[in-house]
Structure 1
Amino acid sequence: MLKVGIVDDRQIDLDKVIGIASQMEGVEIIFATTSAEEAYEQIKKEEINLLIADIEMPHLSGYELADIIHSHALHIHVIFVTGNSGYAVHAFEINVHDYIMKPYTKDRLTTSIDRIIEKTKQAEITGRIYIKNKNDIHIVLKKDIIFIERTGRSTTIHTKNRAVKTYQTLKELEGELRERDFIRSHRSFIINIHYIKNFSLYAKNSFVVTFEGIEEKAMITKDKVDFLQENYF
């Protein structure tokens, strides 16, 4: 399911995008607003795959929203739907997926969204990691990884269904995981943010992390908790 956020300060233009996107199979509208500031707050707390935005809006522009997404390495596609062609070159410098000029046809927008849906499907198919363990190679779906722990010379990958041990280092595994979903929470842990249930104070600058679905726990530093609160939750 492609999760979509929409922002346009003109209600009539917002309604047009909502009307088109809501009729597409495989699309779920998470938020739709005329306020760029509200869109920014929603991006921080909601998981979306696509932001459809006007560019010129009061206080905070669609270009600034896209720049935030780009600079924070968030895995969110952006489609600009705008009446201003002046930002086109700069838009593609920050990896904007598409730049659609108003007025536009229904097919123009649906074709662009369909391309993202296809990209997302391909990403899901290849969303796996190969774990080497002596003479064996375990194939683990990235979405099933809850957290990874380094203890001594070995590493344990805790998933929804099992725990897999390997001698691969956290640094080696970290390079294969999407930055938006996984963070290096502590020198000995990588955690999947989507399974976090609770933070409990452990010491002045660290917390214990509990997760949905398993009893095992991880550690996270205070700096990383602050980072998560500011950029994710």
Structure 2
Amino acid sequence: MKVGLVDDRYIDLDKLNGIVTGLPNIEIVFSTQSAEEAYDYIKKKAVDLLIADIEMPNLSGYELADIIHSHALDIAVIFVTGSSGYAVHAFELNVHDYIMKPYSKERLIKSIERLIEKNKSAEMTGRLYIKQKNDIHIVQKKDIVFIERSGRSTTIYTKTGQIKTYQTLNELEGELRERDFLRSHRSFIINIHYVRNFSLYAKNSYVVSFEGLEKQAMITKDKVDFLQQNYF
């Protein structure tokens, strides 16, 4: 697990470093007193977990968490703070934990261990079972670029190829409840993380182009507006 640490107080940052460094299978990608520097890292999705103070000059830990949430970045957040006033708002941002200073070493370790166990469970359920006549294909959800319904069959386009099934989009949509996937059109489900651009196709629809794939999908204007308001 790649971890980033940010706290504008050196003594608090040093404590975080001391605790996290001693944990197995964890790499500290950055440790900084600058929230702006932390922001540069999270924009690159260089971390799996951000441990941050909340009240910092210029850019706050809460604003960092809001960026992660609004951009649907796959980064967990643990707040370690001396202020209790953000607890309700933190819950709205779906942060993993809210730890009040002063805290014990065991309290932070237990929180990180809980996140690791949660991620293991998510990995087990992060697969889509594609039914065919005599076969069942197992696909990692994160590898799905988009899904298209055409006639009576459905094609699932992944990073490595495509799979055809008779399962409907409604059936598959029920299995893809993650924030990454959007029913962009009556005939398409797209993974927003692979979207390269939208090109106007008609008055109320756009063509969607994807990273690393020549095939394209469709998205309605309403769904583009929804994406802009809720994701970007």
* Superposition TM-score, scaled by structure 1 size: 0.72
- Structure 2 matches for 1:146-161, cutoff 5 A? 146-161=145-160
Deviation at 1:15, TM superposition (A): 3.8
Deviation at 1:53, TM superposition (A): 1.2
Asked if 2 retains the 8 angstrom alpha-carbon contact of 1:211 and 1:217, the reply is no
In structure 1, how many angstroms separate the alpha carbons of the residues matched to 2:40 and 2:227?
A: 15
| Cross-structure match for 1:20 | 19
1:179-220 per-position Cα deviation (integer Å, ceiling 9, x unaligned) = 343344555433335556x548575874552443x5544456
The verdict on how the C-alpha distance between 1:97 and 1:32 changes in structure 2, with shifts beyond 3 A counting, is: same
1:96-148 per-position Cα deviation (integer Å, ceiling 9, x unaligned) = 32222333343332221121111111111221112233565433221332321
Asked if 2 retains the 8 angstrom alpha-carbon contact of 1:44 and 1:231, the reply is no
Asked if 1 retains the 8 angstrom alpha-carbon contact of 2:143 and 2:158, the reply is yes
Asked if 1 retains the 8 angstrom alpha-carbon contact of 2:45 and 2:75, the reply is no
1:139-161 per-position Cα deviation (integer Å, ceiling 9, x unaligned) = 32213323212223321012344
Asked if 2 retains the 8 angstrom alpha-carbon contact of 1:202 and 1:208, the reply is no
| Cross-structure match for 2:111 | 112
Of structures 1 and 2, the one with the larger relative CO (CA 8 A, separation 6+) is 1
Please state whether the residue corresponding to 2:175 is helix, strand or coil.
coil
The amino acid that maps onto 1:209 is: S
Deviation at 1:226, TM superposition (A): 11
| Cross-structure match for 1:166 | 165
In structure 1, how many angstroms separate the alpha carbons of the residues matched to 2:46 and 2:169?
A: 25
1:144 and 2:143 aligned: yes
The amino acid that maps onto 2:105 is: K
Stretch deviating more after TM superposition (215-224 or 142-151): 215-224
Please state whether the residue corresponding to 1:55 is helix, strand or coil.
coil
Is there any run of 5+ residues in structure 1 with no aligned partner, and where?
none
Asked if 1 retains the 8 angstrom alpha-carbon contact of 2:72 and 2:231, the reply is no
In structure 2, how many angstroms separate the alpha carbons of the residues matched to 1:139 and 1:133?
A: 11
Deviation at 1:68, TM superposition (A): 5.1
Deviation at 1:170, TM superposition (A): 2.9
Asked if 2 retains the 8 angstrom alpha-carbon contact of 1:83 and 1:103, the reply is yes
The verdict on how the C-alpha distance between 1:156 and 1:7 changes in structure 2, with shifts beyond 3 A counting, is: same
The verdict on how the C-alpha distance between 1:231 and 1:166 changes in structure 2, with shifts beyond 3 A counting, is: same
Q: Provide the alpha-carbon RMSD of the alignment.
A: 3.8
State the aligned residue count: 229
In structure 2, how many angstroms separate the alpha carbons of the residues matched to 1:70 and 1:77?
A: 9
1:49-105 per-position Cα deviation (integer Å, ceiling 9, x unaligned) = 322111212244323443554566655432111123444455445543222233334
Deviation at 1:36, TM superposition (A): 3.4
- Structure 2 matches for 1:23-62, cutoff 5 A? 23-40=22-39, 42-46=41-45, 48-62=47-61
| Cross-structure match for 2:98 | 99
In structure 2, how many angstroms separate the alpha carbons of the residues matched to 1:182 and 1:210?
A: 14
